[in-house]
Amino acid sequence: MKALMSVGALVGAIALLLLVGMILDVVPSNTVRLVEGYMPIQMLVEVACFVVGFAGLSYMLSSMGMAVPRFWQGIGFWAFVLLYLKFRVYPPIPFSVRAMYGTVSLVAVFMWVSANEDDWKKFKQPIMNVLDAQSGANKMLRYAYLVLIPVLVGFTSFNAMKPTSEEPVELRTVHPAPPASTKVHGKTYTLQTSQNPYRVNPEGKFDQEYSNKLIVEQGMGRLMAPNANPWDEKNQGYLKYVKEGGEIFFQNCHFCHGDNLNGRGLHAFAFNPIPANFTDPGTIAQLQETFIFWRVAKGGIGLPNEGFPWASVMPPWEQHLTVDEIWKVILFEYWHTGYYPRTWD
Amino acid sequence: MRKKMMNTSMGKKAGIVLASAFGLALFSAGPLVLSASAEEVPQGFKKGELAPEPAADMIEAGKRVYFTKCVWCHGVDGAGDGPGADRLWPRPRNFNQGTFKIRHTASGELPLFDAKKPTPGQNDLFETVTHGLPGSAMPSWEGILTEEQRLQVLSFVTTQLVKDRKFTDKQSESQTILQMADLKPKEATEESKKRGSELIVEKKCVECHGMEGRGDGNAFNLKDDWGFSIQPANWHKCWNFRGSRQDPYNVKNIFRTFSTGVNGTPMPSFADSTSVDDRWDIANFVNSLCERDAQGNPLSIDPQTDKPKVNFVLPSNPVEGEIPTDIENEAWQKTQKRLIAMGGQITHKPRNFVNRIDDLWVRSLYNEKSIVYLIEWDDRTKSVAEGKLPWAPTQVNIDVKEQDPKTGEEGSIAAHQNNYAVYNDAVAIETPVKWQDLPAPIKPRYLFGSNEQYPVDIVKWEADGSLRAFKGTGWDKDFEERDSYEENLKILKSEWKNGRWYVMIQRPVGNKKDQDYDEDTLFEMGKYIPTVFFAWDGHNGDAGRKMAVSAFYYTFMQPPTPREVYIYPFVIAGGIVLLEAWVLTRRANKRKGKTL
């Protein structure tokens, strides 16, 4: 038992040291990576480790005759939860969420310290001692609290009431519902049945399989597939159109959407929100090719009123590009990011 | 995981290379020193060895990287003539001649590149690809291409696309390397900076870079080796320094550029004529000019755009009585200055692909009747239009060819550069009318107004001294001039000095009683009033919709702190005292009751 508890105490001490390091910014808060997808489990395990560690620590301390009063255990654990959420979790979580977790853990700590009459008494004891002020130290504490609490509350309420100017939060819809059909350059396109006329094999037939084979490699630093260079002059079909689409992209779109299609173009810094990042799996990889066609052709101004709020300064590209050019640009965007457009079925 | 493995194998390789290099150095140190002193190497430099040719498989792999990522700007032959090139300014590099700007090598020499050594300070081309060239369209490829891919593509570029020179030819190439690691920066004391400020006059830096270092010296007469127009660096925007390596406030970058010169441009190397000590003084002074916040700290730079981070709320401070017109006045000095990021207007004809104004600095004050914007921005030339303008400065979608002719053909963007009809420099503030009523989906369409129902109110100042009011009713409509409103507007100041405009514009805040609510913006205190800025550079042919635009900012007229803020906290604190007294009395009574 004792050995087990000392292991726990060791774990606790190390974990606490790490957390203190993170708070003081000596240890970067992403030292031990929180793994995407496993993050909740990883955090649960970590917190469990801490709990074991704390139990061990408190056992060791009390066996050495330096028991921590229940009151400070409760307060300490709550403070730990708040600090853990603020300094350990990376990327940082917003204050409102932390406040929610903080409240929940406060309630939990309360339930723990008031589980039975005896514990509750132990917990209250320090408070009562200060209220009664029987000893000199407690008297001092009582006076200090008498002054400190009103000052602190007054100061916080002053800060809360003082007018501040922070950018108002505006929610936005990123992918508003598309219409059933759209009219571009006088011709109506039914979005459900239209397809990219340039996704064709060298014989000029629509061929999804053929273009899939020539799409760039997946993964970081996506590159063209071996022996599928769009700049090859002998190209026919899909790859030839990818090159033409790329030319249009780099003459019109990359100023905002970036050389790497990641929304970080030459002028992107001036935008709020910044332009769409096509390499993000949440954008074109989730959408049908016809949706992109509609968005490119109509721009931010063509977005439907039903879908608001949204924020887009993209111009209606039908004013600058022909229908063919729009389809080619879309072809290029999928080729360059290595994504496949979603289909309707 | 894969990346990690690559790193360790890379590390091992680098280790072996380093170890053998060290061994070599031990044996050859004696003769090297001798030959170095014999050949008169500039102070701070040392002779170096040419790197070996990259392996054939690396070159082959690099070709795939090049034809996926780079070809679009740099072109099939690496001549800097890809499909994007004609619309970029500065233009993409032409690799053929082997002329590279950012180096640790002496002027005219090839940059450092070793396909096996991605070590900072010892591989110029690798660092350029890794960190990009801020202030141009060249992005940072770190995180997009792996370290290996970056080395591969450079192997391809240096062996296949650099055609006039050879990186491994010992007959024609030499390497004289700036020993940056051995040179400790001199402390940036007042004395050092003062000496630097004298040296930039003595060394004639000011002839190109201007008296205040805003790049306004020979601003519109400079050309690079290929005849394309370029401009001297603006020392106040260090985040646009091409070789800043995403660490713009680091004085070492300036020292390096100054020591090695910028190949292909009129910027020479000062290594032969200036001692290391003097070079640090100059670098310290130039570095001290870069914009900083009110406390003197460097601005925080967004690593993904290499530009300062932007705050979209523009606070306007209240003033009792008259608004001061003197910038040195305390009221202005105490007001927060906001950076307004500007992009080129490339969505409506005529499109501005070669935008030369990339930011404004704006401050604002208001009193009961008016609001004043103080706008400052760097513009290398003071431009005032002469005679009749070929097209009205408020026109849109004028007849320009959709696709500009290619470089070399008549009428191309490159041919136009520095050769435009000169228009007025100008700046405008746009605020929506009836912004209080705008339904949500209408909101983002403020740029030039949505429609007749929800117009925008545009106040435009021009360098000829005019201040005019316009109504904007849509993206593709010309501004409509509002004749009667101008008497309400006032220019409090407009001055161009050493490459910077200072313009102070006053307009009424309006009130519900005697204001035409349907035509003028009503400025309300404590509300977020959407505000957009436009700027025109007259020497860049900017007029009408060829201009720089900002995103939507918010003018926020800070309310004077309400009296309640000073009263309620005391009331609350008093309440807490009462509560404490109640708890204590109750406890005392309880104890008494118990003991009794």
Lowest mean per-residue pLDDT among A25-39, A67-81, A148-162, B36-50: A25-39
Tokens of B66: 């090049």
Report CB contact under 8 Å: A168, B528. Answer: yes
Percent of chain B's residues with pLDDT above 70: 92
Instruction: Identify which of B67, B355, B526 has the shortest CB distance to residue A224.
Output: B67
Report the amino acid identity of residue B188. A
| Contact list, A162 vs chain B (CB under 8 Å) | 561, 565
Beta bridge partners of A252: none
On the question of pLDDT at B19 being above 80, the answer is no
Determine the distance in angstroms separating the CA of A128 from the nearest CA of chain B, rounded to an integer: 9
Between CA B307 and CA B315, with CA B309 as vertex, the angle to 5 degrees is 130
User: Do B213 and B235 form a contact (C-beta atoms < 8 A)?
Assistant: yes
Confidence of residue B20 (pLDDT cuts 50, 70, 90): low
**Cβ of A217 under 8 Å from any chain B Cβ?**
no
Read off the pTM: 0.82
What is the per-residue pLDDT across B247-288, written as a single tens digit (0 to 9) for each?
999 999 999 999 999 999 999 999 999 999 999 999 999 999
Report CB contact under 8 Å: A165, B556. Answer: yes
Residue in B with minimal Cα distance to A147: B577
Q: Is B394 helix (H, G, I), strand (E, B) or coil?
A: coil
Determine the distance in angstroms separating the CA of A291 from the nearest CA of chain B, rounded to an integer: 20
Tell me the pLDDT of chain A averaged across its residues.
87
Q: B242: buried, middle or exposed (CB in 10 Å: 19+, 13-18, 0-12)? A: buried
What is the per-residue pLDDT across B417-456, written as a single tens digit (0 to 9) for each?
778 888 999 999 999 998 888 877 777 666 788 788 889 9
Confidence of residue A227 (pLDDT cuts 50, 70, 90): confident
**Cβ of A168 under 8 Å from any chain B Cβ?**
yes
Q: What's the whole-number mean pLDDT along residues B382-399?
A: 82
User: Do B235 and B500 form a contact (C-beta atoms < 8 A)?
Assistant: no
**Cβ of A255 under 8 Å from any chain B Cβ?**
yes
Determine the distance in angstroms separating the CA of B29 from the nearest CA of chain A, rounded to an integer: 41
pLDDT of residue A273: 83
Residues in chain A: 345
- How many CA atoms lie within 13 Å of A59's alpha carbon, on the beta-carbon side? 17
**Cβ of B585 under 8 Å from any chain A Cβ?**
no
Instruction: Pick the more confident residue, A8 or B375.
Output: B375
Q: Concatenated DSSP letters for B216-245?
A: -SSTTT-B-TTS-B-----TT-GGG-TT-T
Q: What's the whole-number mean pLDDT along residues A180-199?
A: 92
Instruction: Identify which of A158, A249, A303 has the shortest CB distance to residue B569.
Output: A158
| Contact list, B146 vs chain A (CB under 8 Å) | 220-221
What is the per-residue pLDDT across B341-353, written as a single tens digit (0 to 9) for each?
999 998 888 889 9
pLDDT of residue B3: 42
Instruction: Identify which of A153, A162, A165 has the shortest CB distance to residue B315.
Output: A165
Q: What's the whole-number mean pLDDT along residues B352-380?
A: 95
Which segment, B449-458, B467-476, B496-505, is predicted with the most confidence on average?
B496-505
On the question of pLDDT at B7 being above 60, the answer is no
**Cβ of B589 under 8 Å from any chain A Cβ?**
no
Instruction: Identify which of A270, A303, A305 has the shortest CB distance to residue B342.
Output: A270
On the question of pLDDT at A82 being above 80, the answer is yes
| Contact list, B591 vs chain A (CB under 8 Å) | 132
| Contact list, B476 vs chain A (CB under 8 Å) | 319
Report CB contact under 8 Å: A154, B447. Answer: no
Report CB contact under 8 Å: A262, B311. Answer: no
Q: What's the whole-number mean pLDDT along residues B474-484?
A: 86
Q: What's the whole-number mean pLDDT along residues B123-136?
A: 95
User: Do B557 and B366 form a contact (C-beta atoms < 8 A)?
Assistant: yes
Can you tell me the ipTM of this complex? 0.87
What is the per-residue pLDDT across B148-162, written as a single tens digit (0 to 9) for each?
999 999 999 999 999
On the question of pLDDT at B510 being above 50, the answer is yes
Tell me the pLDDT of chain B averaged across its residues.
88
Instruction: Pick the more confident residue, B86 or A41.
Output: B86
Peptide bond just before A202 cis, omega within 30 deg: no
Q: Is A35 helix (H, G, I), strand (E, B) or coil?
A: coil
* C-alpha dihedral, A153 to A158 to A159 to A163, nearest 10°: 160
On the question of pLDDT at A159 being above 90, the answer is no
Determine the distance in angstroms separating the CA of A139 from the nearest CA of chain B, rounded to an integer: 12
Residue in A with minimal Cα distance to B90: A266
With both helix axes pointing from N to C terminus, report the angle between B276-289 and B251-260 in degrees, rounded to the nearest 10: 130
Please state, in angstroms and as integers, the Cα–Cα distance from residue B552 to each residue in A274, B266, B311, B504, B555, following that order: 12, 39, 11, 20, 10
Tokens of B146: 């792996």
Tokens of B462: 């021009």
pLDDT of residue B595: 53
pLDDT of residue A31: 66
Write out residues 100-139 of B within 8 Å (CB-CB) of A: 136-139
Q: What's the whole-number mean pLDDT along residues B130-139?
A: 94
On the question of pLDDT at B15 being above 60, the answer is no
- Which of A313, A317, A329, A337 to mutate to test binding with chain B, by most B CBs within 10 Å of its CB? A313
Write out residues 261-290 of A within 8 Å (CB-CB) of B: 262, 264-272
On the question of pLDDT at B11 being above 50, the answer is no
Confidence of residue B215 (pLDDT cuts 50, 70, 90): very high
pLDDT of residue B188: 94
Report the amino acid identity of residue A215. I
Q: What's the whole-number mean pLDDT along residues A170-192?
A: 87
On the question of pLDDT at A118 being above 70, the answer is yes
pLDDT of residue A163: 75
Confidence of residue B233 (pLDDT cuts 50, 70, 90): very high
Q: How far apart are CA A247 and CA A253, in angstroms?
A: 10
Q: Is B380 helix (H, G, I), strand (E, B) or coil?
A: coil
Percent of chain B's residues with pLDDT above 90: 64
What is the per-residue pLDDT across B435-444, written as a single tens digit (0 to 9) for each?
888 877 777 6
pLDDT of residue A86: 85
On the question of pLDDT at B88 being above 60, the answer is yes
Write out residues 311-330 of A within 8 Å (CB-CB) of B: 311-315, 319-320
On the question of pLDDT at B382 being above 80, the answer is yes
Q: What is the C-alpha radius of gyration for chain A, rounded to an integer number of angstroms?
A: 31
Percent of chain A's residues with pLDDT above 70: 95
On the question of pLDDT at B67 being above 50, the answer is yes
| Contact list, A255 vs chain B (CB under 8 Å) | 87, 137, 343-344, 346, 353
Phi, psi for B2 (deg, rounded to 5) = -60, -40
Instruction: Identify which of B307, B554, B570 has the shortest CB distance to residue A154.
Output: B570
Report CB contact under 8 Å: A311, B444. Answer: yes
Write out residues 318-377 of B within 8 Å (CB-CB) of A: 341-344, 346-348, 353, 355, 358
pLDDT of residue B579: 92
Count, in order, helices (H) and strands (E) of chain B: 12, 17
**Cβ of B57 under 8 Å from any chain A Cβ?**
no
Cβ-Cβ contacts under 8 Å between A and B: the total is: 186
Q: What's the whole-number mean pLDDT along residues A23-28?
A: 78
| Contact list, A265 vs chain B (CB under 8 Å) | 137
Instruction: Identify which of A224, A270, A311 has the shortest CB distance to residue B343.
Output: A270
What is the per-residue pLDDT across B552-563, written as a single tens digit (0 to 9) for each?
899 999 988 888
Write out residues 76-135 of A within 8 Å (CB-CB) of B: 128, 131-132
Instruction: Identify which of B67, B137, B576 has the shortest CB distance to residue A231.
Output: B67
Q: Does an H or E element contain B25, and which?
A: helix B2-39
Give the 3-state DSSP-derived string for B302-327, with helices as H, strands as E and coil as C. Answer: ECCCCEECCCCEEEEEECCCCCCCCC
Confidence of residue B591 (pLDDT cuts 50, 70, 90): confident
Instruction: Identify which of A157, A221, A267 has the shortest CB distance to residue B569.
Output: A157
pLDDT of residue A256: 93
